[in-house]
Structure 1
Amino acid sequence: MQFRQKALSKLQSPEELELPVRFARPQGRFVLAVTALVITAAGFWALTGTVTDRLTAPGILTHAQGRYLLQSPVAGQVTEVLVTEGTRVAAGAPLVVVRTAQGDRPVRAVAGGRLTALLARTGSVVTTGADVATVERVTDPDDPLMAVLYVPGGDTGSLRVGATVDVSVRSASRSTYGALRGRVASVGGAPQTPGQIAGFLGDEGLAAEFTRQGNPVAVLVSLELPPASDGSPRTAASGTPVTGAVHLSAHRPVDWLLP
């Protein structure tokens, strides 16, 4: 009690009342002002700004009609190759000649297009159903390339025709050349099986890769190709693997906080 009375009497002393009052230092006022400014700016952005979600999926550059894998209808030895890769072939045109027990038999193109890969060589032995060539269905040499993205079936509900897409070509440097821009042209109605994808791409290996996590939905993207430049994505050929980022609907950040 004795110490308490001394402390109270000291606080009531006139000498203590005459001491100057200390205000906040200039540094403290600056920090307070900056904090208030940041909070105000964050609140303004949350109310007026927008955030766009993105959906990323693997895909490939191709033409709209895809390609097909030509298989030999007979067994025998390839005695002659009549075409070279990259050339255009007409429907029914002979590509290779196979010598069978019944004589020489030509293997003909099922549909017209561009020969992208020749799998049979002179002297090789083929069996019935063996892969001979891959032909891309191209009716016009000026038909533009498109990107086909394979999106997991459960993620397509938010996709809309016309949505912007950033397409990165894996064989090109994105930091140097950026990404191809495009728009969603169509969204498949149902997931595709490995057989359907292989039938469109003419490649069972790619079909297995795209269906590794389940049967996906095919999303066709029309590309806005930039002028050609050496090494840029514009020079990428059909069959080049790509990754597409689809821009989904935009929303305000404050919507995350509202019920």
Structure 2
Amino acid sequence: MVTIRFRSKALDRLNQRDDLDAPAELTRPRTWIALVVVAVLVVGGGVWAMNAELPRKVAASGILTYSEGSFSLQSPVSGQINGVYVDQGDTFPAGTPIFSVQVGKRVEVVKAITGGRITAMLGKLGQVISAGSELAVVERIDGKNDQLVAVLYVPTTDAGQVRKGSQVDLAVRSAPAQEYGVLRGVVQSISQFTESRQQITDFLGDDQLGEQFSSQGQPLKVVVKLLPRQTASGYEWSTQSGPPFRIDSRTLVDGALYLPPIKPIDWVVL
């Protein structure tokens, strides 16, 4: 004879009546709270995505110079330099004698074809040169009151949304931004076509700069007008006074060009 033993809990459960008419509890209160929190977050996120504006900017390197750029003064003849009539930093009008070169028994005078300022003296007294040798780098300026501009070379992949009048911040390498802040400016013009290495070299009068600014491909040239202000440098800075010294041309800068802000919802739409 087989004896079957039941656990007391199982027997009690068999004796209980079925509560078929009792209301079923679908969710607990804490679940409702969680759903409400999620709904608030979704609605709040949607409102933020449609109304918030996120700032954007493009980074580019460049140089402080004058709007007409620079050129390399070359010797038209071969011979020996026997006269140097200007010093580095001198400003002069067009037609000023810069060098004289002894060619056999005659002397050839090398004159400036335009007014400017010597930023680099390459030829030296007594130096033997050949035709085409670079004697000096000359900035094209009309006078000492000409205003500097910043020329930035922006990669084409980033330049599409840069606009005339956009704000620009310039970190000047000769004036640490941690101490003096950044130089303020606005976009004055944007080149319609990309610039080759040779075009950059011709504008700046420096082959090394041409190579540096075109190392990642042919960029677009963006000219930035510096905002004037009564400071030691003559321009506006993010700090109250900026550096206590003059900022000269041929100084390298790192620029941040601010683009029109974008709404987060545009990312979803795009």
TM-fit CA distance, 1:164: 0.8
1:16 maps to which residue? none
**Equivalent position of 2:103 in the other structure:** 100
Aligned to 2:251: 240
Alpha-carbon displacement from aligned partner over 1:169-227 (angstroms, at most 9, x marks no partner) = 12221111111111111100111112211111011110011111111111100011451
Which of 221, 227, 232 aligns to 1:228? It is 232
Q: Distance in 2 between matches of 1:222 and 1:216?
A: 19
Contact 1:183 1:221 in 2 (8 A): yes
How many residue pairs end up in the alignment? Answer: 244
The residue that corresponds to 1:5 in the other structure is: 10
* Offset of residue 47 of structure 1: 3.6
Q: What runs of 5+ residues in structure 1 fail to find an aligned partner?
A: 13-22
**What is the identity, as a one-letter code, of the residue corresponding to 1:256?**
W
Aligned counterparts of 2:45 and 2:179: Cα–Cα separation in 1: 33
Structure 2 unaligned regions, length at least 5: 1-5, 18-28, 234-240
TM-score (norm 1): 0.82
How well do the aligned residues superpose, as a CA RMSD in angstroms?
A: 3.1
Q: Which AA in structure 2 matches 1:5?
A: A
Question: Identity percentage over the alignment?
Answer: 38
Is 1:144 matched up with 2:155?
no
Q: Taking structure 1 as reference, are residues 240 and 74 closer, same or farther at Cα in structure 2, changes over 3 Å only? A: same
Q: Distance in 2 between matches of 1:80 and 1:203?
A: 24
Paired with 2:218 and 2:61, the residues of 1 have a C-alpha distance of: 13
Cα pair distance change 1:86/1:189, threshold 3 Å: same
Which residue does 1:255 correspond to in 2?
266
What letter matches 2:72 in structure 1?
Answer: L
Deviations 1:146-175 (A, max 9, x none): 000111233322111111111111222111
Tell me which structure has the larger Cα radius of gyration. 2
Shift of 1:4: 4.5
Alignment of 1:36-55 (within 5 A): 45-55=48-58
